[in-house]
């Protein structure tokens, strides 16, 4: 056993979160793609079976009340709240991240002081945020200003209505300064909208503490909600009364079953709803969140940084000089829970790595992406991934 | 056995669709709320179990390709297509009905000739369509003109950009003249958007034959997709190239995994997508659609009319004079697949009826609603429902 393998073993033995791995369905694959699709918590299939056979099959329509279907969006939102540092009553679950970006960006322009016509958008954003923000801008008479997050403070001004930023860059794994940038946005009198897809469940977000205005995120990455599970929308309590949704569907009505022709928005998080909640996916997500019982996000963050540090160390030790370049920052304050490595022949390399049982993913054209989910990834996984990556890179090209 | 009970027995014996009931999980309840939540097809839980344990649990991220997750929205759209009279390639599944109404109404205003500023909306529409159309109008600079469907021809004019209409009224069960109204909308040079929530799966729609422009519908009523299962959007092939979505999420991009900052829409039905497809709900819906194999919608319509005729006949025979008034039209050409009865004390009456094992629903303040799903409701169900309704109405008020 090499020195790094011994260290991995010792780190795993000392890891207080290590037993959580047993809560998930995993095999001997090293699964480093939980930042794309989280692994299956073992107990979810049995829960869904009950939802299907008893709640839908036997109770049918009664389940909207008796099985708590109707209130699921806010109930599950309140389960996500502590993970992202929000008090209860501010998060609603439903729709896709893209749809929630639309709600948030349009609503942000309506919360902003009148006469401001610019929306700053992270120039390196996950594309959907940019596409949707562009549509929101077109429909509200604003213009999009693409700007690297570091340059946001300089780009802010009296024309800025809102800024749409990613907490962690999906490609590089760079963690952006949510407290500092939010404060800068506020100093300019604008509204801060954060996309938490790549941070929620991996590190502390502190939505309330940092006075974020609006936020969105998906639940199928570090929250393990299942493929395409519903996203969520956070509207800070102080903005709820003025939150003016561009998608005022019937379930966000103050009295939805009155079915009145005129729209009157509900108070609170409910106002962020649109249509009928997607129950099967939503309740799979709710069950998945059970793995968080008793788990603090600070402990998750500590393990995440230890894991990515160790992986980077193993890569440096094993991989032939010059074959890969980390694009994820070395500084902890700037690192999310993934390691992205630039690699000239990334596509065949990732293919060969997956064939050897290490599942990461590729961001075209040249980024190998390794996501570390602290709930189920261990240090031996990190060592093995780096070792097999080195093997692949040492092999003659196909 | 009464005469009506004997007739019910004979009608059930002669019913070629009667064996389909065995495909569903039902008990001795008379379930007449399939127009709100369709019953569970028996085989769906086993299919979802496989999706959860094998596709998500074992294959994980590989399932986007290997299990056909990525292409599910259009594949399932093509399963719905024959049920609503559409050729393949025009329907995409995803999001809620409300979100699809937003896409369709905004896109309709962009397809309409320039300079038109009115959107006609069914004045009796299911509320969400009206709320969302109002938001779409606000964001596109149009104004909403509420109009009863029968008055649409008179309300159409050179200012009409689009008309948003319900095929079957959710409250009264009235079937509107989709071919005639669509032709009238076209004669005025406008775009016809139809909401099929209460017709798809219960009667022929003929989207292609009647040259409908855009349509939306839910899948949890007569299509039995499960609680809050994803809705669908139909964009007629001739409009696809000009379809300009207000929600251009990344999965509707021509090359989504290139993750380019600029949006370039995909061709075809894919363009109607928004975010990551909601796989669990979507694949439950796909499995549910298996009950349609070999079933023609014309046979379903014939049984639906026979069922609602028979129910109305039983109500007339059993229920004390003057206690209920049908608001569903007697004429077949104007009737969907539900019977709505006006009843002064509708709320306690429905409560008492449900307690006796007949599940319909209530539309406040005074409508008792009975939905007839021809795939699993029989004539004996109709007779029993009318008989127990009469019992409830004859009992002294609580």
Per-residue pLDDT tens over the stretch B35-72: 999 999 999 999 999 999 999 999 999 999 999 999 99
- A250 annotated ligand binder: yes
User: Which of B292, B314, B345 is the last residue before a domain boundary?
Assistant: B292
Listing DSSP states for B167-224 in one string gives SB-TTT-BBP-HHHHHHHHHHTT-EEEEE-TTTTTTS---TTTTT--EEEE-SSSTT-
Which domain-ending residue is among B265, B292, B319? B292
For residue B46, what is the enclosing H or E element?
helix B44-50
Check residue B397 and give its pLDDT.
60
Q: Please give the DSSP secondary-structure letter assigned to residue B53.
A: I
Asked whether residue A164 carries a pLDDT value surpassing 80, the answer given is yes
Do A345 and A397 contact (CB within 8 A), yes or no? yes
The pLDDT of residue A239: 98
- Does B246 lie at the interface with A, CB-CB under 8 angstroms? yes
Which tens digits make up the pLDDT trace of A179-197? 999 999 999 999 999 999 9
Domain end position, chosen among B238, B259, B292: B292
Does one domain contain both B288 and B337? no
CA-closest candidate to residue A194, choices A88, A108, A80: A108
Q: Which of A171, A245, A278, A283 to mutate to test the interface with B (most CBs of B within 10 A)?
A: A278
- Give the domain extent around B254: 46-292
Kindly state whether residue B343 falls inside one of the protein's structural domains. yes
A275 touches chain B (CB under 8 A): yes
Q: What percent of chain A has pLDDT over 90?
A: 97
Are residues A358 and A214 part of one domain?
A: no
Q: What is the pLDDT of residues B168-200, one digit of tens each?
A: 999 999 999 999 999 999 999 999 999 999 999
Q: Is A151 annotated as a binding residue?
A: no
Answer whether residue A36 is part of any domain: no
Q: What whole-number distance in Å separates Cα of residue A49 and Cα of residue A63?
A: 15
Tokens of B27: 């008990």
Average pLDDT, rounded, for chain B: 97
In a shared domain, residues B315 and B184: no
Question: Which DSSP string do the residues of A28-89 spell out, in sequence order?
Answer: SSEE--TTTSPPPBTTHHHHHHHIIIIIIIIIGGGHHHHT--TTHHHHHHHHHGGGGT--TT
B41: in domain: no
**Predicted pLDDT of residue B395:** 84
Shared domain check, B210 and B132: yes
> Do both A282 and A369 map to the same domain?
no
pLDDT tens across B241-297, in order?
A: 999 999 999 999 999 998 898 999 999 999 999 999 999 999 999 999 999 999 999
Separate counts of helices (H) and strands (E) for chain A: 13, 13
> What are the b/e assignments for A215-251, b being 16+ CB within 10 Å?
bbbbbbbbbbbbbbbbbbbbbbeebbeebbbbbbbbb
Q: Residue A221 pLDDT more than 70?
A: yes
Interface mutation target, options B227, B255, B279, B283, chain A, most CBs of A under 10 Å = B227
Helix (H) and strand (E) counts in chain B: 13, 13
Report the CATH number at residue B324.
3.90.1150.10
Note the Cα B137 to chain centre separation in Å: 24
The answer as to whether B335 is a domain residue is: yes
Does some domain include residue B18?
Answer: yes
Indicate if A274 and A358 belong to the same structural domain.
no
Whether residues A69 and A10 share a domain: the answer is: no
From A243, A329, A230, select the one nearest A281 (Cα to Cα): A230
B204: closest CA of chain A, how far (Å) = 25
Active site residues of B: 126, 195, 220-221, 369
Hey, is the C-beta of B232 within 8 angstroms of any chain A C-beta? no
Q: Is A369 a catalytic residue?
A: yes
- In this prediction, residue A1 carries a pLDDT of 84
B354 and B278 in a common domain: no
Cβ(A102)–Cβ(A172) under 8 Å? no
Find out whether A89 and A269 touch, Cβ atoms under 8 Å: yes
Q: What is the pLDDT of residue A323?
A: 94
Sign for the CA dihedral angle at A283, A288, A293, A297 comes to negative
A 361-380 near B (Cβ less than 8 A): 361, 363-364
Which positions ≥6 away from B274 have C-beta within 8 Å? A96, A98, A99, B94, B95, B99, B103, B245, B247, B248, B249, B251, B252
Per the DSSP assignment, residues forming a β-bridge with A359 are A31
The answer to whether residue B126 neighbours chain A at the CB level (below 8 Å) is yes
**How close B335 gets to chain A, by Cα (Å)?**
22
Q: Are B332 and B165 in contact (CB under 8 A)?
A: no
Say whether both A280 and A373 belong to one domain. no
Cis before B365? omega within 30: yes
What is the four-CA torsion angle of B264, B268, B274, B279, rounded to 10 degrees?
Answer: -130
Are B130 and B274 in a shared domain?
Answer: yes
Same-domain status, A268 and A130: yes
Report CA A238 to chain centroid distance, whole Å: 23
Q: Report the C-alpha dihedral over residues B377, A283, A97, A220, rounded to 10 degrees.
A: -130
HSE at residue B163, side-chain half, CA atoms within 13 A, is 32
| CATH number, position B145 | 3.40.640.10
Nearest residue of A to residue B37, measured between CA atoms: A61
pLDDT reported for residue B1? 84
Q: How far apart are CA B151 and CA B146, in angstroms?
A: 10
pLDDT of residue A70: 98
Q: Which of A33, A132, A278 sits opposite B281 (nearest CB)?
A: A278
Q: Does B368 map to a domain?
A: yes
B381 band by pLDDT with thresholds 50, 70 and 90: very high
Residues 6+ apart with CB under 8 A from B132: A247, A248, A249, B98, B101, B102, B105
Whether B64 contacts chain A with CB within 8 A: yes
CA dihedral A298, A304, A309, A314 (to 10 degrees): 150
* C-alpha span between A138 and A385 (Å, rounded): 45
pLDDT value at B5 more than 70: yes
For residue B193, what are the β-bridge partners?
Answer: B164, B214
Residue A96 has pLDDT above 60, yes or no: yes
Q: Which residues of A touch B110 (CB under 8 A)?
A: none
**CB distance B280–A226 less than 8 Å?**
yes
B38 is a domain residue: no
Domain assignment present for B79: yes
Interface test with A, best of B127, B169, B340 (most A CBs within 10 A): B127
Query: Which of B52, B257, B274 minimises the CB distance to A44?
Result: B52
For A293-307, how does the pLDDT look when each residue is reduced to its tens digit (9 = 90+)?
A: 999 999 999 999 999
Which stretch of DSSP H or E encloses residue A146? strand A143-147
pLDDT of residue A388: 98
Chain A to chain B, count of Cβ pairs less than 8 Å apart?
Answer: 256
pLDDT in tens, A257-268: 988 989 999 999
> A2 to chain B nearest CA, in Å?
30
Nearest to A101 by CA among B251, B73, B275: B275
Model pLDDT for residues B66-125, shown as the tens digit of each residue: 999 999 999 999 999 999 999 999 999 999 999 999 999 999 999 999 999 999 999 999
**Judged by CB atoms within 8 Å, which residues 285-344 of B form the interface with A?**
none
Q: Note whether A247 contacts B31, CB cutoff 8 Å.
A: no
Is A98 in the same domain as A157? Answer: yes
Domain count of the fold of chain A: 2
Q: For A18-54, how does the pLDDT look when each residue is reduced to its tens digit (9 = 90+)?
A: 999 999 999 999 999 999 999 999 999 999 999 999 9
Q: Minimal CA–CA distance to A30: which of A395, A382, A326, A267?
A: A382
Mean pLDDT computed over every residue of chain A: 97
């Amino acid at each position: 056993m090499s020195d790094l393998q011994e260290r991995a073993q010792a780190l795993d033995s000392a890891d207080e979160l290590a037993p959580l791995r047993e809560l998930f369905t995993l095999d001997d694959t090293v699964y480093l793609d939980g930042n794309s699709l989280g692994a299956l918590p073992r107990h979810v299939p049995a829960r869904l079976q009950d939802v299907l056979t008893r709640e839908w099959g036997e109770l049918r329509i009664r389940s909207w009340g008796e099985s708590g279907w109707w209130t699921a969006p806010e109930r599950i939102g309140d389960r996500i709240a502590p993970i992202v540092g929000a008090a209860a009553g501010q998060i609603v679950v439903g729709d896709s991240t893209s749809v929630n970006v639309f709600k948030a960006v349009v609503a942000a322009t309506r919360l902003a002081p009148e006469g401001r016509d610019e929306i700053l958008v992270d120039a390196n954003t996950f594309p959907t945020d940019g596409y949707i923000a562009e549509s929101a801008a077109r429909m509200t008479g604003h213009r999009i200003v693409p700007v690297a997050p570091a340059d946001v403070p300089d780009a802010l001004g009296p024309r800025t209505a809102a800024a749409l930023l990613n907490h962690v860059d999906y490609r590089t794994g760079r963690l952006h300064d949510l407290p500092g940038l939010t404060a800068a946005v506020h100093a300019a009198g604008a509204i801060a909208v954060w996309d938490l897809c790549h941070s929620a469940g991996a590190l502390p977000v502190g939505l309330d503490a940092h006075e974020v205005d609006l936020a969105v995120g998906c639940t199928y990455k570090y929250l393990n909600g299942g493929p395409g599970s519903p996203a969520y929308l956070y509207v800070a309590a102080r903005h709820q009364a003025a939150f003016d949704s561009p998608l005022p569907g019937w379930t966000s009505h103050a009295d939805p079953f009155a079915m009145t022709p005129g729209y009157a928005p509900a108070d609170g998080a409910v106002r962020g709803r649109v249509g009928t909640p997607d129950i099967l996916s939503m309740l799979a997500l709710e069950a998945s969140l059970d793995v968080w019982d008793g788990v603090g996000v600070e402990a998750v963050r500590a393990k995440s940084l230890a894991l990515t540090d160790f992986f980077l160390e193993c890569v440096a030790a094993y991989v032939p000089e010059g074959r890969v370049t980390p694009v994820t920052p070395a500084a902890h304050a700037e690192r999310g829970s993934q390691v992205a490595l630039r690699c000239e022949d990334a596509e065949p390399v990732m293919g060969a790595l997956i064939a050897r049982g290490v599942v990461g993913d590729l961001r075209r054209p040249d980024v190998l992406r390794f996501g570390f989910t602290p709930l189920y990834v261990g240090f031996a996984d990190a060592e093995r991934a780096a070792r097999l990556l080195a093997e692949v890179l040492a092999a003659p090209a196909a």
